[in-house]
Amino acid sequence: MSGAGVSCPGCGSSNIVDDDLYSQAQMVCVDCGSVVSEGVLAHDPNGGSDVSYSWTTAVTRKPCVNLVKGLQRVKAICRILRVNKEIEDLSQTYYKQAYQHQTFIKVSLQKKEVLAGCCVLVSCRLLNWPITMATMSCLLDADPMVVGVVYQEMVKVLRIEAPIVNVTDVVEAHSQEYKISLLHVPEQLAENSKDLAKRAVALVELAADTWIVTGRKPIPIMMAAIYLAWQSLKPSKQRLKFTLDRFCQIAKVNKHRTALKRITEMKEVLCKLGREIPWVREEVTPDNVVRQVDDILKNRYALLRRALRTHEDALQAEDSVTEEVASSQASEPVEHTPNASAVELYGLNSERTQQPGDGNESPCTAPELQNDSQESQESAPNWGKRMLFAPPCVTHPKRRRAGLPGLQDVNGDEEISDSEIDSYIRTPREAREFALTQKILSLSESEKS
Amino acid sequence: MDESALERYFDDSIANDSCLSLEEELGVQSPAPVPEDSSFLSGKAGPSREPGEELDLSFLPDELSTQEEPGRHDDTALDTSQDSGIHPDYNSRDSTAAAAAAADPQQGAPMLGIGASPFCPMTPMTPMTPMTPVTERSGIIPQLQNIVSTVNLGCPLDLKFIALQARNAEYNPKRFAAVIMRIREPRTTALIFSSGKMVCTGAKSEEQSRLAARKYARVVQKLGFPARFLDFKIQNMVASCDVCFPIRLEGLVLTHQQFSSYEPELFPGLIYRMVKPRIVLLIFVSGKVVLTGAKERAEIYEAFENIYPILRGFRKQ
């Protein structure tokens, strides 16, 4: 090797070559001939010793270099996040344990780095200092899915039961990221971060109560909450005209597309509550609900109760109407096909008698499926539509292709017809043609490449 | 002439090679359709006949209810299927009845003093009768969605030849070292390896899986290989159902931390690893539940009956 970065002490030239003509390898300067270094009599074999590190006795005398580096990395992550000493110590302990476990001792260095982040993550969760996995993946500059996989494996290996992150706890920290204070933006658009966080927390709590949060990723929800909070703290025309896109631009955060959906869902919930406000004359729509957000949040529990009660009353009124309709039909014999409305009524009545004051718990037993499968697809989400607040995946179910009915009444030992099996086998001519075509195709492929 | 010879050869190989396991399977499978059918249908027919009755207990077995059952069994047993179609219908009726029954504990409790299944007088441990899915608790029956089974065809196979001669086969050795074959009825996919082992997926019931595996074996046989049908085994069963109320997953993970894993950032559902029976359940906020990891139908039903009261506990905030 020519001396990279090595200069001859005699003449200062960097033109140094490795001269192993003689029994002893030497580095010699080409220009002045002086020997820059003298090789040792015995080199370590190329590529390190024949025995790998884990087999040598160095394991006991000197800790693994990567383990040491990993622990330093854990410490660095903790310092960046500014967590307390307890969390730092706990994450280092976990890292040591996990690193030496057989599942992790032989993984790639990249995974070991991710492991460091996961140890910090789990320690934060255990010691009540919540951060999201997305934050950790940003910090590690790793794919969130990879972080997820390593995290789950680590938790399984170390047998940790870590509590889940409550979104409301993370909102405050998350809102710090938004550069929307007076220092960054003009006054009409600026907002005190404490007020913003407080209102966002209230919005997230409301969303959690009305099934918007469960099962969803937290960051788009927080983004939607912060956006709505910002708009509602000073609902001027200018602010209301701001789209999520522009808001993220001025706040210097990356927009999440799903945040738009969350905004729609939250606005729907706010509308449902806004309608219950006694002093609001005009109709509350998603467009003008932002102005009412302040009042809604202040009185949200009362409004929730009112809304549930109103909904229950509406349902009972509906049932009495169907009862009148059904009673005229009920006289007909119901031998062959169950009379849908009668049974539905029957089902509802029995539910009502058991759970009188529970408007939110609309019948889970609302008979969903009639004999006709098409009807069943429409009435299946019924239970969600009858509830005032239901998880959005229930009220707006994905339309699935109805599966083909397929075989029924199979006992596994039926006769298999020959013709059926023959239909799966090529005729000799077909096979020849297929082979020929394949050959032609492969030839043309090889010609191309 | 060829046809009957092939059939005989095939049936011979079944009889000789796997007689023990098959008998057991047959013993388990065949009686299954009848009691389940009749029980479902009696439940279905019940509420429609007595709409005015306060508590419809017709879904309960003969000796415990006051109505006559035998007639119903006969005429309704014919036009029902074991799985699919009829069950969702049954769900609603039975949930109604179940709710009604649950409301009246005095009537409900003594009838089920025996144990889990009111229809089956034998305990679920008896291999002959699988545990029936209906209890006074849920009335919801998980429906099988996928069955994975394996069978050994007992002879090495030339995959290139199979891929060339069979219409429904695909073979890409660079990507995967097996032939992927599909048949239309039952709609399934099979992975056939050169060792002669085969994996069959996509069937909706154990019997369908077995029929499908036999069809694949027959195709391989017709292609000229001395295929047999050895060690047919169901490896995994997946089922799903809907409890029809939303579930607070955060609450569930708090109280059942040692079994649950809920990471909304990674997956929207809660992963519940039940210990007995050893089944993994995916529980979603919409109330839909997916059960997997079972080798037998009874395990799925048992797992669902175990989880249902837990989920009901999370129905109210």
**HEC string of A271-328?**
HHHHCCCCCCCCCCCCCCHHHHHHHHHHCHHHHHHHHHHHHHHHHHHHHHHHHHHHHH
- What is the rounded distance in angstroms from the CA atom of residue A81 to the CA atom of residue A127? 14
- The answer to the question of residue B254 being in a domain is yes
Q: Are A260 and A228 in contact (CB under 8 A)?
A: no
Question: Which of A159, A322, A376, A411 is best to mutate for the B interface (most B CBs within 10 A)?
Answer: A411
Closest-CA residue of chain A to B212: A412
- Write out pLDDT tens, residues A236-295: 888 888 888 988 888 888 888 899 999 999 998 988 888 888 888 888 888 888 888 888
Question: Which range (A25-29, A59-63, A267-271) has the least confidence?
Answer: A59-63
Judging contacts by C-beta atoms under 8 Å, the chain B residues touching residue A366 are: 92, 244
User: What pLDDT is attached to residue A175?
Assistant: 84
pLDDT surpassing 80 at residue A360 = no
Question: Which range (A303-312, A319-328, B299-308) has the least confidence?
Answer: A319-328
The pair phi, psi for residue B112, each rounded to 5°, is -110, 25
Q: Are B272 and B307 in contact (CB under 8 A)?
A: yes
Q: Are A363 and A312 in contact (CB under 8 A)?
A: no
- Write out pLDDT tens, residues A202-239: 999 999 989 999 989 999 999 999 999 988 888 888 88
Judging contacts by C-beta atoms under 8 Å, the chain A residues touching residue B51 are: 330, 334, 339, 342-343, 346
Tell me the DSSP string of A354-371.
H-TT-SSS--TT-----S
Confidence class of residue B79 from pLDDT cuts 50, 70 and 90? very low
Q: By the CB < 8 Å criterion, does A343 face chain B?
A: yes
Question: Which of A410, A420, A438, A442 is best to mutate for the B interface (most B CBs within 10 A)?
Answer: A410
Query: Hey, are the CB atoms on A215 and B249 less than 8 Å from each other?
Result: yes
In the block, tokens 């390593």 appear at: A150
- The answer to the question of residue B40 being in a domain is no
Q: By the CB < 8 Å criterion, does A332 face chain B?
A: no
pLDDT surpassing 60 at residue A329 = yes
The C-alpha angle with vertex B30 and arms to B25 and B36, in degrees rounded to 5, equals: 120
Confidence class of residue B63 from pLDDT cuts 50, 70 and 90? low
Cis? peptide before B186, omega within 30° of 0: yes
Query: Hey, are the CB atoms on A412 and B81 less than 8 Å from each other?
Result: no
Element (H, E) at B231: strand B230-242
- Write out pLDDT tens, residues B200-241: 999 999 999 999 999 999 999 999 999 999 999 999 999 999
CATH number, domain of B261, equals 3.30.310.10
Q: By the CB < 8 Å criterion, does A411 face chain B?
A: yes
Beta bridge partners of B238: B146, B292
Beta bridge partners of B148: B201, B236
Confidence class of residue A437 from pLDDT cuts 50, 70 and 90? very high
3-state secondary structure of B183: strand
Q: Looking at the partner chain, which of A218, A337, A406 has a beta carbon nearest the beta carbon of B204? A: A406
Query: Hey, are the CB atoms on B186 and A367 less than 8 Å from each other?
Result: no
Within B30-154, where are the H helices?
33-49, 70-77, 86-103, 105-111
pLDDT surpassing 90 at residue B134 = no
Q: Looking at the partner chain, which of A211, A330, A343 has a beta carbon nearest the beta carbon of B47? A: A343
Q: Find all residues with CB under 8 Å of A270, minimum gap 6, and list them.
A: A206, A228, A289, A292, A293, A296
- The answer to the question of residue B286 being in a domain is yes
User: What pLDDT is attached to residue B112?
Assistant: 40
Question: Which has the closest alpha carbon to B211: B29, B2, B12, B19?
Answer: B29
Q: Looking at the partner chain, which of A211, A334, A370 has a beta carbon nearest the beta carbon of B51? A: A334
Domains of chain A: 1-46 (2.20.25), 65-165 (1.10.472.10), 170-305 (1.10.472.10)
Percent of chain B scored above 90 by pLDDT?
A: 49
Percent of chain A scored above 90 by pLDDT?
A: 12
Q: Looking at the partner chain, which of A152, A214, A435 has a beta carbon nearest the beta carbon of B250? A: A214
- The answer to the question of residue B250 being in a domain is yes
Query: Hey, are the CB atoms on A217 and B265 less than 8 Å from each other?
Result: yes
- What is the rounded distance in angstroms from the CA atom of residue A216 to the CA atom of residue A207? 11
Cis? peptide before B277, omega within 30° of 0: yes
pLDDT surpassing 60 at residue B30 = no
What is the DSSP-derived secondary structure letter of residue B95?
A: H
pLDDT surpassing 60 at residue A22 = yes
User: What pLDDT is attached to residue B61?
Assistant: 55
The pair phi, psi for residue A236, each rounded to 5°, is -80, 165
User: What pLDDT is attached to residue A173?
Assistant: 83
User: What pLDDT is attached to residue B226?
Assistant: 94
- The answer to the question of residue B145 being in a domain is no
Q: Looking at the partner chain, which of A334, A365, A371 has a beta carbon nearest the beta carbon of B96? A: A365
- The answer to the question of residue B43 being in a domain is no
Segment A105-121 shows an average pLDDT of 87
- What is the rounded distance in angstroms from the CA atom of residue A310 to the CA atom of residue A304? 10
- The answer to the question of residue B101 being in a domain is no
Judging contacts by C-beta atoms under 8 Å, the chain A residues touching residue B6 are: 418
Question: Which of A132, A143, A205, A214 is best to mutate for the B interface (most B CBs within 10 A)?
Answer: A214
- The answer to the question of residue B218 being in a domain is no
Domain housing B289: 243-316
Give A340→chain B minimum CA distance, Å. 9
Average pLDDT, chain A: 78
Judging contacts by C-beta atoms under 8 Å, the chain A residues touching residue B315 are: 361, 364
A-to-B residue pairs, Cβ atoms closer than 8 angstroms = 211
User: What pLDDT is attached to residue B176?
Assistant: 95
User: What pLDDT is attached to residue B71?
Assistant: 42
Question: Which of A408, A430, A439 is best to mutate for the B interface (most B CBs within 10 A)?
Answer: A408
Domain count, chain B: 1
User: What pLDDT is attached to residue B23?
Assistant: 43
Residue type, A414: E
**Residue B191 CB burial class (10 angstroms; 0-12, 13-18, ≥19):** middle
Query: Hey, are the CB atoms on A335 and B49 less than 8 Å from each other?
Result: yes
Q: Looking at the partner chain, which of A133, A217, A393 has a beta carbon nearest the beta carbon of B285? A: A393
Percent of chain A scored above 70 by pLDDT?
A: 79
